[in-house]
Structure 1
C-alpha cells in the first residue's frame, strides 16, 4: 500500500529532476498510481513528444523508452528497470525484410509494430500500434505490406484490410498467445452473455471467441461505455487496475483467464525501483547510432502523421 510519505517523496523527487512519470497499463497497479500519465504504447508515444519536462521516467519495457528517446532526444529518459524487455520485439530477422523488399521492390511497405527494437524500426517504413494498425496499413499507398514482428496482430489487420496483401512474420507475444481458448470457453459458460474483449496479439483460437478486438485503451473504452456488468478480458492482467478505477461504483466485474496473463518484464517494474530511479537517476536510455536513430525516428514520425489524419 502506498503511504502519504512515499507519495510525498516521489513528488519531491519528480520536482527536483523536472520529471514526468509515464506508466504502461501492464505495470503493477501501485506503480500506475504514482505515475503522472498511464496509457498504452500509442498514447504514451504521442504524449512523450509533447511534454516540456527535462526528464521522462518510463515505467514500461525497453522499446517504449527507446521510442520516447527517439522522439525527444533532448530529454533525459530513464527506466526504473533497464532490463525489462519484450521478447516479441526481437522476433524479426533482417533477411526477412530484405527478401520481401527484393521480391516486391517499391510496391512493398514494411509496417513495424511499435513493440520492436529500435534497429527493427530502422529497417521499416512506418510504425503502427494495435490501436492504429488497421488505419495506417489501409492508408499506405503500397498494396503489399510486410507486417513485423507480430503475426497475430498482422492477421487481424489482414482481415480488416482485405484489399492489401499483408505478408506475415513469425513473431508473437508469448503472454497473449498462451491465453487458452478452453479457459475462455469456461469463462463464457460461467458468465453467460459477458462480452469477450480481446487484444489482437491473442492467438487465433482465443480471438475466434472474442466479441471485440482492439488495443488496451480500446478495450478499456468499450468496457467503460458498455451496459453489461460482466466482461471477459483477454489481455495482460495489469489492465485490471485501470478498468476498476474507470468503472468504480458501477458494479462492473472483470474476469481474466485463470492462468493469469502476466508480463514478467512489466511485473519487475516496482515502486522501489521507480523511487530508486528518481533518486539516483539510473537507467538512462541512450540514442542508438545516428543512422539507426534516423531510420527509426522516421518510422515513428510517419506513424504520428498518418495516425493523426
Structure 2
C-alpha cells in the first residue's frame, strides 16, 4: 500500500488572472512547465555554470542525520568549496544538500539571469534562495517557518516533490514545537505498518524537470527528493490568509525560541520526548477521527 497522492496539475503557461483564480484563491498547487523560457537562466543555469561563477565560494552542507539537541538552528553539518561540491554531485551519490543559499548575498551576478514574475503576489525580492542536492538526497517532510507562498523553479535533472496541506497535519506524525515530521519516516517509500496514520493523509506529488515551476501554497508540507543531481530557485510571498499569517508570527517570535530554550535546558531528553509525543498525538487523533 502506498501514500494517497494525486498528481499535481500541470499547465503549459498561466496568466496572472488564471493563476489567482485557479490556484492561489483555492490554495491548490500547480506545475507551470514553460514559464521561464525567456529567462537567461533557462539556457545558462546548470551545475557547470554555477561552478564557473561560484566555484570558490565556501558553502554550508546538510545531510539527513536526525536533529540533535546541541546543534544550533540550521547549523550546517559540513562546509566545502562550491566547485568541489559540484564535482561531488556529478561523480557520486551524496546525502549532502545546500538549502537557503541567498543568491543576492553570495553571487549577485546571478540575479541578472532571472526576473521576479508577476503572479499577482508581492514577492520578497531580498530572499531568492537556491537549493542543491545529489542523487537520492532528500529533505525531511517540513513546512516553512513563515508559511509563505512559494514558487520553486527547478534547473538541471529531476526532482520528486510530495506535498500535503496543513489540513492533513493530524496524520503526518508532526513533531511538537517544530516544523517537521518524524525524521525516520521515508516519505518516498513509507512503512505504513509502522506509520498507519499516513494511510489517511491525502496529498499531492509531481516530478520537476529543468525549467518547471512548482507553486506551493501557504504552509503546505513538502518533501523533496533529488532523482538526479540538480538545483532549484525559490521565490516567496508572505502568507495572505490571516490564520497562516498568525501562525507565521507565532513561529518566528515564540516557537523557535521556546524550542531552542528547551534544548538547552533538557538536552536530548527534550528531543526524545518530542519524538514520542509525535506518535502519541497522531495515533490519538487517528483514533478520534476513525473511531473504535
**Same fold flag (TM > 0.5):** no
Higher relative contact order (CA 8 A, sep 6+): 2
Higher normalized helix content (fraction of residues): 1
TM-score in terms of structure 2 length: 0.24
Higher normalized strand content (fraction of residues): 2
